[in-house]
Amino acid sequence: MRTSLRRRLMWLLSGAVLLAWLATAWFSYSDARSQIGSMLDAQLRLSAELIAQQLAPDTAAQGAASASPQARPDARMAFQVWDGPALLRQRSANAPRTRLSMAQQGFSEIDLDGQRWRVYSHAVPDSRVVVQVAERHALRDELAQSVANHLMHPLAVALPVLGLLIWLSVTAGLLPLGALALQVQRRDPDNLASLPEPQVPREVAPLVHALNALFGRLRTSFEQERRFTADAAHELRTPLAALKTQAQVAQAATSEQALRHALDQIVVGVDRATRLVEQLLMLARLDPQASLPAAESLSLPQLAAVCVAQLAPMAAQRDVDLAQEAPDAALVRGDAALLSALMRNLLDNAIRHAPPGSEVELSVRRAADGVLLRVCDQGPGIPAAQRQRVLERFYRIDGVSGEGSGLGLSIVQRIVQLHGATLRLEPGEGGRGLCVEVAFPALPG
């Protein structure tokens, strides 16, 4: 069952109030009982002393015990006057003929005809006379009961009222929560703006803060998703538009030369669109991946040599020298196909941006905490302000012609992430060109 904050508060508050009230009532009852006890004891003692004082000096001379005429059999008090241990001189009508209590002096408790009595024995000084006054114990209980009743009666009336007050207070106390819930409920699904935090009570603030953090992350991811879709549409539409236009130009061409040119352009366009689609597919495959199922220990220099060989023709075409600097056998754990794609992308980028006659170098070396892969060119480099942005999908540096898809570095970054490696872009030697450094973690064990 769903827990209710209100019900919980109601139970806790009502229980606490009831408990406090019961404890107070119990203490008052005990206190009243003990007060009544001492009061009645004092009265009992006084009665015994009064009786002793009123004894005629000649009582001792009288013979048989006589019952006092004024004492009714049902009276709550009884008394005896004893002369010595065996001679009962006087008694009330309801008192037995046997001695009430064996005590000579002070209080004691006895059972008489199934009832409890409290007895005070008063030994008259300088004589053998003992006066005993008894009082039914039930009287004390009755009095204490009546005090307790007086205490409990208002409680019976006050408790429902108190319950209502508690309910109202709890409801009023929970109002900000209700308001917050309503605010969230009434939002339209696209609204991911933060909730206003200053107006929220301190107790709810952590929740609202966490909600706002969640909204923020959702906003960012939605925004990225939206931008990627928009960018992908744009990036796909432009080459398609180019293909269609060139095809229609070819259809309407009036000269052999114009037709030839348009057809050549169509081939170039299809190549470019193919590359773009391949890169989009690669990103789409990499995106949901969280781990590398095909990971194994690989020699990075060996893989690099294959990639360098693959790109050598492209470099030669642009008059760029390609060099590999990888003397030692550096092992990394990873996916061979992805690592090859990573190095091909880096080399492709470097060759595209390298001026003719310059050199692009790929180097692998072992470091204390892993393996470092570096690809350096002597091209224009990337201004510091744009180094983070070039990792964004479809981002192209201002003023650089849009030959690439704008996805290469995004793919590189994703592959780097999947390998638990880190990516760093920095200027090359002497501040010229660009060096991309990938730091792979050391192999475990």
List the beta bridge partners of residue 14: none
Residue 239 binds another protein (CB under 8 A)? yes
Residue 222 binds another protein (CB under 8 A)? no
Q: Tell how far CA 201 is from the center of its chain.
A: 17
d(CA 184, CA 180): 6
In three-state form (DSSP H/G/I as H, E/B as E, the rest C), the secondary structure along 277-324 is HHHHHHHHHHCCCCCCCCCEEEEHHHHHHHHHHHHHHHHHHCCCEEEE
Strand, helix or coil for residue 84: coil
Binding residue for another protein, selected from 237, 285, 389, 424, defined by CB under 8 A:
237
Q: How far is the CB of 400 from another protein (least distance, A)?
A: 8
In three-state form (DSSP H/G/I as H, E/B as E, the rest C), the secondary structure along 337-362 is HHHHHHHHHHHHHHHHHCCCCCEEEE
> Which residue's entry shows tokens 């998703």?
225
Residue 254 binds another protein (CB under 8 A)? yes
Binding residue for another protein, selected from 108, 183, 245, 324, defined by CB under 8 A:
245
Residues 6+ apart with CB under 8 A from 170: 6, 9, 10, 13
Residues 6+ apart with CB under 8 A from 374: 361, 362, 363, 364, 435, 436, 437, 438
Token pair in block for residue 343: 């190095």
Q: How far is the CB of 3 from another protein (least distance, A)?
A: 46
Compare residues 262 and 434 and give the one whose CB is closer to another protein.
262
d(CA 162, CA 155): 10
Compare residues 219 and 237 and give the one whose CB is closer to another protein.
237
Binding residue for another protein, selected from 92, 121, 246, 410, defined by CB under 8 A:
246
Residue 401 binds another protein (CB under 8 A)? yes
Residue 265 binds another protein (CB under 8 A)? yes
Site for another protein in 298-337 (CB under 8 A): none
Compare residues 67 and 247 and give the one whose CB is closer to another protein.
247
Q: How far is the CB of 399 from another protein (least distance, A)?
A: 6
Residue 212 binds another protein (CB under 8 A)? no
Compare residues 269 and 301 and give the one whose CB is closer to another protein.
269
Residue 257 binds another protein (CB under 8 A)? no
Return residues touching another protein (CB under 8 A). 230, 233-235, 237-246, 248-249, 252-254, 258, 261-262, 265, 268-269, 272, 396, 398-402
